[in-house]
Amino acid sequence: MKVSTQETPGDLREYEPIQPGRGRSGSFTEKAKKFLGPIAIAIIAFASKAKAILLLLPKIKVLSTSATMLVSIAAYSLIWGWTFALGFVLLLLIHEMGHVFQLRREGIEASAPMFIPFLGAVVAAKSMGDDAGAEARVGLAGPVLGSIGTLIPLGIWLATGEEFWQALAFVGFFLNLFNLLPVLPLDGGRAMAALSPWVWGIGYAGLVALTFVFPNPVMILILLLGGMETWRRFKARNTPESRAFHDIPRRTRIGVAVVYLGLAALLAFGMTETFLERDFGDV
């Protein structure tokens, strides 16, 4: 689901303290700030530690790809049963390997995927490439290879008519389409680095709306991490490094846009055609 980096172009390593606004002493606004301040600090601290944990996981030797895959299969089997859990984790593996292959094609050393139950998987790399075009290619490589992998259960379903494979294909299409949301640190957010960073704001607002409609811990974590990374990049947008990073050929931007929009349309169509009303607990 997410490519974790230790160095991201344009990142700022220090946060500036929030400046309190002016207001009348003892007003409702000031009291609200006193009450909400510690909560906001706690949320930011949690998000920072969560990101640090994600970066640390690939360095722990005992947590190999196979071991974390088995843990994830066991976790998902509590909800869907072990056969569906196995299929889902394999689809997730194919998706993540797309990132690994492209990172290495860009000349960047990348770790094997590490799986985190109910959060997806993470690939560690020192950077996302030399420019926004490379970052977009790395981001899109996951959904592209993941979509190709989803053709396997789709083909089996078309050949056999078994609902198990239909449901697995639907989840595969959904997994890759969700990752195309134009929000950092999702793959779609990486692709937007080559188009217009302003799209991040639109995507983030959309994700906030989705979180209110379908509240869950994963969405909240993405909001926290994505908000912090987006803010860092926004603050650094006018630095020489950031401008150089986003200075890419027009043909690259067009290519990224075509792949992004075309893939999103195909995945949405795939979800529509494989939709099945069924409780996965019965699989």
pLDDT tens track for 65-94 = 888 999 999 999 999 999 999 999 999 999
Give the range with max mean pLDDT: 23-32, 145-154, 235-244: 145-154
Domain ranges, residue 111: 2-7+41-282
**Tell me: the pLDDT tens digits for 200-244?**
778 888 888 888 887 778 788 888 888 888 888 888 888 898 888
Is there a domain that residue 57 lies in?
A: yes
Amino acid at site 196: S
- Given the structure tokens 């998706």, which residue do they identify? 95
On the 0-12 / 13-18 / 19+ scale of CB atoms within 10 A, 28 is: exposed
What is the distance between the alpha carbons of residues 56 and 172, in angstroms, rounded to a whole number?
28
Is there a domain that residue 17 lies in?
A: no
**What is residue 237's predicted lDDT score, i.e. its pLDDT?**
80
Q: Specify the range with the lowest mean pLDDT, choosing from 42-51, 175-184, 218-227, 251-260.
A: 42-51
Is there a domain that residue 166 lies in?
A: yes
Q: Please tell me the pTM assigned to this model.
A: 0.73
Residues 6+ apart with CB under 8 A from 210: 219
**What is residue 278's predicted lDDT score, i.e. its pLDDT?**
59
The mean of the pLDDT values for the chain is: 79
Is there a domain that residue 128 lies in?
A: yes
Mean pLDDT to the nearest integer, 128-146: 93
Is there a domain that residue 19 lies in?
A: no
Q: Please report which confidence band the pLDDT of residue 173 belongs to, taking 50, 70 and 90 as the band edges.
A: very high
Whether residue 283 is predicted with pLDDT greater than 90 in this model: the reply is no
Q: How many structural domains does the chain have?
A: 1
Q: Please report which confidence band the pLDDT of residue 1 belongs to, taking 50, 70 and 90 as the band edges.
A: low
**What is residue 208's predicted lDDT score, i.e. its pLDDT?**
84
Supply 87's token pair: 């299929």
Mean pLDDT to the nearest integer, 261-278: 91
| Residue of 54 and 130 predicted with greater confidence | 130
What is the distance between the alpha carbons of residues 28 and 20, in angstroms, rounded to a whole number?
14
Is there a domain that residue 198 lies in?
A: yes
Is there a domain that residue 35 lies in?
A: no
55 phi/psi in degrees, rounded to 5: -70, -30
Is there a domain that residue 27 lies in?
A: no
